[in-house]
Amino acid sequence: MPKLSVIVPFYNVQQFAPDTLRSLRANARPDFEFILVDDKSKDETPAILERAAEELSGLAQVRCIRREENGGLATARNTGLDVATGEYLAFLDGDDWLAPGYLPELVAAIEGLGCDFVRTDHVQATARARSVHRAPVGRRGEVLNPREAILPADRTTSVDYAYAWAGAFHRRLLDRGLLHFTDGLRTAEDRPWIWKLHREAESFAVVGLLGVFYRRGVAGSLTQIGDVRQLDFIRAFDQVVGETAADRDADRLLPKAVRTYCAIIAHHLSEIEKFEPAVAKQLRVMCAAAMKRMPQNALGDVLDTMDFQRAARLRRLRRRITNGKAAA
């Protein structure tokens, strides 16, 4: 069994894939397994991966998989998880990269702590600018209860730091069905995933290890495009709220889920100009319907405690729902 499986989905990233693959080379060990998943790219990415797989095969165990249909990041990651054989698992996106020697340090950290998963900080790279983004947990190198790290509701917590590639995960989580993503989600795919981890895993830790470089501002990235795929955040957060409402600690955890959902809705409404006109209209309609589905008591409490600007935007949307019902 390999010590570590690293799952790396690629889609139309011929410009950036060589950097990603060079960083894997700088982290390779014979007991590491690199799973390169091409999500039906239309550019030269598949050829780049095939060459890299040959070059890496003398340094690590390599599997190169080409999907027959494009499924999005969540589905591509699941494809890798389905074939991963490592004792530990980690993720990397096909346009990001790792510092040399990062993966061996990551494995040493999770082995030393003996917990279900570890989370790390990361470096955000926008053009030539670099900024450190830290996991929102003050206690470092200490095994903690993942469920307790969901709260408080009015603060940024571990479930808001959803980046799948910022950490490593013991295989027992995969065996328990906690590492797969909701199939087909094109955006916010890591939100139901991180909430499920924190509700159901038994232990985690945050370590002061800095080695993942997250590339931002990439043309063609979903974070830069206002098309219909962005609306998948609604399905993702519907899942978060629905599963949390069924949790044994729903009374404690649901306010955090609703508050986060509202914050994301307010964010998208504040940037509605970036969406195509038809998608913008659909966004308003779907967000209004989402607010109607939320637990109304929790929603009311969230709107009463949220900052004025976002609360006002959401209240206007909520009044539109109420007025529409009255008119009907």
Could you report the per-residue pLDDT of 122-148, keeping only the tens digit for each?
A: 999 999 999 999 999 999 999 999 999
Say which residue the tokens 């098309």 belong to. 227
Determine the pLDDT at residue 225. Answer: 56
Residues 6 or more apart whose CB falls under 8 angstroms from that of 248 comprise none
Q: How many helices (H) and strands (E) does the chain have?
A: 11, 11
How far apart are the C-alpha atoms of 203 and 176, rounded to whole Å? 14
Cβ proximity of 98 and 210 under 8 Å: no
Amino acid at 34: F
**Whether residue 222 has pLDDT greater than 90:** no
H or E segment and range at residue 117: strand 117-120
| Residue 316 CA from chain centroid, whole number | 30
Q: Is 242 left (phi over 0), alpha (psi -120 to 50) or beta?
A: alpha
Residues 6 or more apart whose CB falls under 8 angstroms from that of 282 comprise 228, 231
Q: What is the mean pLDDT of residues 160-179?
A: 98
For residue 90, which phi and psi values (nearest 5 degrees)? -145, 165
Determine the pLDDT at residue 227. Answer: 78
User: Could you tell me what percent of the chain has a pLDDT over 90?
Assistant: 92
Cβ proximity of 317 and 290 under 8 Å: no
Could you report the per-residue pLDDT of 242-287, keeping only the tens digit for each?
A: 999 999 999 999 999 999 999 999 999 999 999 999 999 999 999 9
Task: Compute, in degrees rounded to 10, the torsion defined by CA atoms 276, 12, 163, 119.
Answer: -170
Cβ proximity of 43 and 14 under 8 Å: yes
